[in-house]
Chain A
Amino acid sequence: MSHRGSRVLRLDALARVEGEASLHLAVRDGRVTEARLRIYEPPRFFEAFLVGRGHGEPPDITSRICGICPVAYQTTACQAIERACGVTVDGPLAELRRLLYYGEWIESQALHIHLLHAPDFLGHPSAVELAREHRAAVERGLRIKQAGNTVMEQLGGRAIHPINVRVGGFYHVPAPAELVPLTERLRRAHDDALETVRWVAGFDFPDAEYHGPLLAMCDPGRYAIDSGTPAVMAAVAGSNGPAPVRALPVEEFERRVVERQVSHSTALVSELDGHHYLTGSLARYAVSGRWLHPSALDAAREAGLGDPATGAVCRNPFRSIIVRAVEVAHAVAEALRIIDAYEPPSRSYVAVPPRPATGCAATEAPRGLLYHRYAMDADGTLTLARIVPPTAQNQAAIEDDLRRQVQSRLDRPGEPPGDEELTALCERAVRNHDPCISCSAHFLDLTVERG
């Protein structure tokens, strides 16, 4: 291992992360001296080629950053550009946008829970093998996933890279009758989601705790997904009481969250006020848990996550699978509420005339907080694009988590763990964070240096 490999460099822009990762772990005299998650997905340069495009193009273009959460990119891009142009999208259009986002949430979280994460707890390499023993559970997961995809297909045209999203709203808004067929499927999905919460709550969870700060959107009164202000829940300081939460106005995001380039990864690594931090389901549950839909909140309490209204926070990354299942139940219940209350808007979009300005926005992708900023000139030509995806933000926290978990295993009395056991432990630790589908999906090339 070269010393150069750990050098940290200053950086002022970021990379696309989407794909595969390897891990480098160094152990010397029983101590973990290095745990590096290496994301080697080839760079795709989205921020560079967005410059020079029109201000209506980012929703379609940035959706191609991620096939698993295209709506997160579309929604965040729309909001950033609308903010730059001084336009507010509210009422039924905002509700429809949220409905589309819930569709993605249901699909993406169900995918992670059933196809990627659950096999770890039950000792199978994939959902196909898992289905031999737990066919009903896998089929239930696929049904929930399909319900999410159906919402995206109906409202967005298709589940991957929806075509019906534009800056200011939609190309076509559905008549209420077009949404009605979704309700039956979603009602079934709600029962299925609650069943999934009970299922995953029964898994065996190793002891583990993430101690650092948690970052999620906060919109008092609702479980924030596409609205609110980023908020930081401070690191645990040895007390059992609720940790303080402080706002991080989205306009200050790039001042507080500094991205650095490290030589071992094409992903940029973020630090919040100089510390690694975690975004995603654990952070959302900590910040907004008390505002979950009542059925999801009840399910969370029954599943042993504690009561977020009294300050209960889940910091065990293994238990993120329960939080995700609760979030699916919430998203399904909310999708049903929106459809029930839906009255079509008079226009499918609000006009968003360009002006020389800059705008930024953040929303909650299923994997965590996603930040966009765009600058444009008078005719709407983009002069700058900045995108900070959740994976880049979580990378340092994941490495810290890996270091702790491996060290804790090494410190246990008895026979020292072999490479195979450490590999399995590391893979599980990475998948807990759902960093992106390929990273989280059962592939890690582990090298262990022992000295």
Chain B
Amino acid sequence: MESDPRPSLAVWKFASCDGCQLTLLDCEDELLPLTDRVRITHFLEMSSAEESRERATLSGAGPYDLSLVDGSIATAEDVGRIHHIRRISRRLVTIGACATAGGIQALRNFADVEEFRAAVYASPEYIATLDTSTPISAHVPVDFELRGCPIDRGQLLEVITAFLAGRKPNVSGHSVCFECKRRGTTCITVAQGVPCLGPVTHAGCGALCPAYGRGCYGCFGPMVQPNLEAMVRELRHDGMTERDIVRVFRTFNAASPEYGPVPELAAQEATEPPAEEEPR
């Protein structure tokens, strides 16, 4: 395989539902053509080839031209593993909300993990886990972060082809609102008063929820520089309570630092007198 000119691709899994790495297998039309261009050398979900078994030993395999990392860091062992993977990867890209923002399992970051452990396990002492679930970037440098719970198939292919071509992926940081406009969907907040996180949520899904008559629930996490103050005010205007607002931000990208001020913003609004009808 030494003479194989194809760049090598590795897919690694940490704490996650597997959905983001499954997205690669969901590229039904592109999967076999893609393997003409890249050598998928480590992908446990797909291959039992000897070189795919590095999880067992972490000894010497690689280096990999591109590593895709799915999942968050939730155990002490995984802290060591991500450092090793960084060392053997020329480029490292995180895929999905778990790897990029800690995932839904980062809800533990706001709670007492001992209580969580005891709620689920009769003998919690057997369960080795960190008190936090953190994104990959909290541990090692990351070359690119692809957002989404789950990621979008088209964006994944763009990221892989961009890295293989040595260029920057064409994934912009604007909001879901842009995608709604492009799709021609009538704004459900303006037209129906449905609460929607579209104005502060990172694009990538193609504005799915509004197209199905549902407000965006933020599964792609924060856009670049979201205006949360205005967003929280609008959500309250559309009928969400303080508790609803905190909950909707605390789901799949709960640990995103951009969302830090939300509880305070939601509480501030709650103490204000009922607002007059605001001009939109």
Interface residues of A (CB under 8 A from B): 9-15, 18-20, 22, 41-49, 51, 53-54, 57, 60-61, 64-68, 70, 111, 115, 119, 125-129, 131, 135, 138-139, 142-143, 145-146, 149, 157-161, 163-164, 166, 171-172, 261, 263, 266, 268, 348, 427, 436-438, 441-443, 445
* Docked complex Cα distance between A437 and B70 (Å): 14
A107 to B176, CA, bound (A): 28
CA distance A47 to B117 in the complex (A): 10
Contacts A49-B111, A437-B45 given; indicate if A445 touches B247 (C-beta within 8 A): no
Residues on the B chain within 8 Å of A65, using CB: 17
B residues neighboring A (CB under 8 Å):
13-23, 25-26, 28-29, 31-32, 35, 40, 43-50, 52-53, 55-56, 74-75, 78, 103-105, 107-108, 111, 113, 115-117, 119-123, 126-127, 129, 149-150, 205, 208-209, 211-214, 217, 219, 244, 247, 251-252
Inter-chain contact B47/A125, CB cutoff 8 Å? yes
Bound CA span A367–B74, Å: 26
Show 8 A/B contacts (Cβ-Cβ < 8 Å), sorted by A.
A41-B15, A43-B117, A43-B120, A64-B104, A70-B17, A126-B52, A161-B150, A427-B48
> B149 contacts A143, CB within 8 Å?
no
User: How far apart sit A18 and B115, CA to CA, in the bound complex (Å)?
Assistant: 22
- Of the candidates A67, A138, A149, A268, the one whose C-beta lies within 8 Å of that of B17 is A67
CA distance A129 to B184 in the complex (A): 43
Selected contact of B18 from candidates A66, A126, A142, CB within 8 Å: A66
Q: Which residue of A lies closest to B15 (CB)?
A: A42
Contact across chains for A126 and B208 when beta carbons are under 8 A apart: no
Q: Are B212 and A161 in contact (CB under 8 A)?
A: no
Q: Which residues of A lie under 8 Å from residue B53 when comparing CB positions?
A: 443, 445
Task: Kindly name the residue among A20, A61, A160, A172 whose own CB sees the greatest number of chain B CB atoms within 10 A.
Answer: A160
Q: When the two chains form their complex, are residues A149 and B105 in contact, meaning their CB atoms are under 8 A apart?
A: no
Do A60 and B251 form a contact, CB below 8 Å, given A70-B19, A161-B219, A437-B18? yes
Most chain B CB atoms below 10 A, which of A67, A127, A442: A67
Asked if A128 and B28 make an inter-chain contact with CB atoms under 8 angstroms apart, the answer reads: no
Instruction: Please determine whether B127 and A43 come into contact, CB atoms closer than 8 angstroms.
Output: yes
Determine how close the nearest CB of chain A comes to the CB of B147; give it in whole angstroms: 14
Query: Measured between alpha carbons, how far is A266 from B48 in the docked complex, in Å?
Result: 23
Distance A158 CA – B150 CA, assembled complex (angstroms): 9
Given A438-B45, A443-B53, A142 contacting B31 (CB threshold 8 A)? yes
Separation in Å of the A337 CB from the closest CB of chain B? 24
**Once bound together, how far apart are the Cα atoms of A335 and B18, in whole Å?**
26
How many whole Å from B143's CB to the nearest CB in chain A?
Answer: 24
Residue among A10, A12, A268, A438 having the largest count of chain B Cβ atoms under 10 Å: A438
Is A68 touching B120 in the complex (CB atoms < 8 A)?
Answer: no
Which A residues are CB-close (under 8 A) to B75?
42
Give Cα distance in the complex from A53 to B16, angstroms. Answer: 21
Question: With A19-B18, A45-B120, A48-B115 in contact, is A131–B32 under 8 Å at CB?
Answer: yes
How many angstroms between the C-alpha atoms of A263 and B50 in the bound complex? 29
| Cβ distance A313 to chain B, nearest Cβ, rounded Å | 30
Q: Are A11 and B46 in contact (CB under 8 A)?
A: no
Contacts of A119 in B (CB 8 A): 48
A68-B18, A128-B35, A160-B150 as given contacts; A9 in contact with B25, CB under 8 Å: no
Do B247 and A54 touch across chains, with their CB atoms under 8 A apart? yes
Look across to chain B and name the residue whose beta carbon is closest to the beta carbon of A146. Answer: B28
B12 CB to closest chain A CB (Å) equals 11
Contacts of A70 in B (CB 8 A): 17, 19
Q: Whole-angstrom distance between the alpha carbons of A172 and B210 in the complex?
A: 10
Contact A149 B28 (CB under 8 A): yes
Distance, CA A128 to CA B75, complexed state (A): 32
> Is the CB–CB distance between B120 and A47 below 8 Å?
yes
Which residues from A are CB-within-8-Å of B50?
125
CA of A414 to CA of B126, assembled, Å: 41
Contact B150 A9 (CB under 8 A): no
Q: How far is the CB of A370 from chain B (nearest CB, A)?
A: 14
A159-B26 in contact (CB<8A)? yes
Q: Which residues of B contact A261 (CB under 8 A)?
A: 121-123, 126
Using A131-B32, A146-B28 as known contacts, list a sample of 4 further A-B pairs with CB atoms less than 8 Å apart, ordered by residue number in A.
Answer: A67-B21, A438-B18, A441-B48, A442-B44
Residues of B within 8 A of A49 (CB): 104, 107-108, 111, 116
Contact between B119 and A13 (Cβ–Cβ < 8 Å)? yes
CB closest chain-B residue, reference A446: B56
